[in-house]
Amino acid sequence: SNQFKLLPSVSEIHDQPHTSWGKTVKRTHSIPGKMVQLESVALEHSVHPIRPDVVAMSGGKRLFIEVTVTHGTDQKKLKHIQKINTSAIEFNLRDYSRTIDWEMLRDLLVSASPLKTWIFNRRQAEIETKLLDEVVAEIAILEEDRRKSPSETLLLNSATGAADQLIDNCNMEWQSNSRKGVDELTEKMKISGKAICFSLKNGGEIFVHSIDKNIVLLHIPEQAEWLLSALSKFSVAKKSDSIWVMPKNREHQLFIYLNSISSVTRSVQSHTF
């Protein structure tokens, strides 16, 4: 059917990790809203195990459309949408009567509107991964340049040695005295959320989740357990089964190390720890 829809914009996608000495490396990107032609539209079409309100096709790709009147998209549905990597938008009509005239419907379809937002944008996920790759690569270059700088090598080694000694002392205390504190922190953290996945060249994947100012969560599946001995220098401590924790002050060094031994690095929108 010869219909058109204005897809919502994504104002800013960004990644801004730091080097080991605190320099911010930032990348940003935006996705403007646009008109697209819908080649087909199916109502309440099952995409096992979910049933979107509308399944549309545009440019050979699926687009899910959810019309929210009372209840929005739940986590189970969202996870499946992300898993099958299909873009989805929501029309939020909670504050409107169930009767909508054609003029309002047309404006909603073809105009920018705060009532129309992304539930999941597959391009955003791809761009986040690309930005992260660029940032991690630049940080690796900056770290290497700093290590090779003749004027800074002696000072850097001295500072690094002192910092490592201080960190090691802190880590001894962290390992021995803060098991209760770690448990309390991880209980307060969300057990699922955005993560960075490192696909290791020698097999397996590691998922890194960092939302707390003190600790970082690591999911290390069985296939990647070969790396645990190397990760000991980052003071990782076992939380449960394949879940490990480490001090936040080792996060940047960990990212640089994992990037150097990974074939692919990607951003994961929702991962359960």
The one-letter amino acid code at 11 reads S
Structure tokens at 78: 């969202």
Closest CA to 257 of 150, 162, 143, 171: 143
Where is mean pLDDT largest: 83-87, 93-97, 238-242?
A: 83-87
| pLDDT greater than 70 at residue 238 | yes
> Hey, which bits of 32-86 come out as E strands?
34-38, 40-43, 54-58, 61-68
| Tens-place pLDDT, residues 176-218 | 444 444 444 444 444 556 788 889 888 889 998 876 667 888 8
| pLDDT greater than 90 at residue 130 | no
d(CA 202, CA 265): 14
Structure tokens at 239: 């939380």
Q: What is the pTM of this model?
A: 0.49
Q: Which residues does 208 contact at the CB level (< 8 Å), separation at least 6?
A: 195, 196, 197, 198, 216, 217, 218, 254, 255, 258
pLDDT of residue 172: 46
| Tens-place pLDDT, residues 5-26 | 567 777 666 666 677 777 788 8
Contact assessment for residue 186 and residue 249, using Cβ atoms and an 8 Å cutoff? no
Q: Which of 11-20, 41-50, 158-167 has the lowest mean pLDDT?
A: 158-167
Half-sphere exposure for 140 (CA within 13 Å, toward CB): 14
pLDDT band at 160 (very low <50, low <70, confident <90, very high): very low
3-state DSSP assignment of residue 200 = strand
pLDDT band at 235 (very low <50, low <70, confident <90, very high): confident
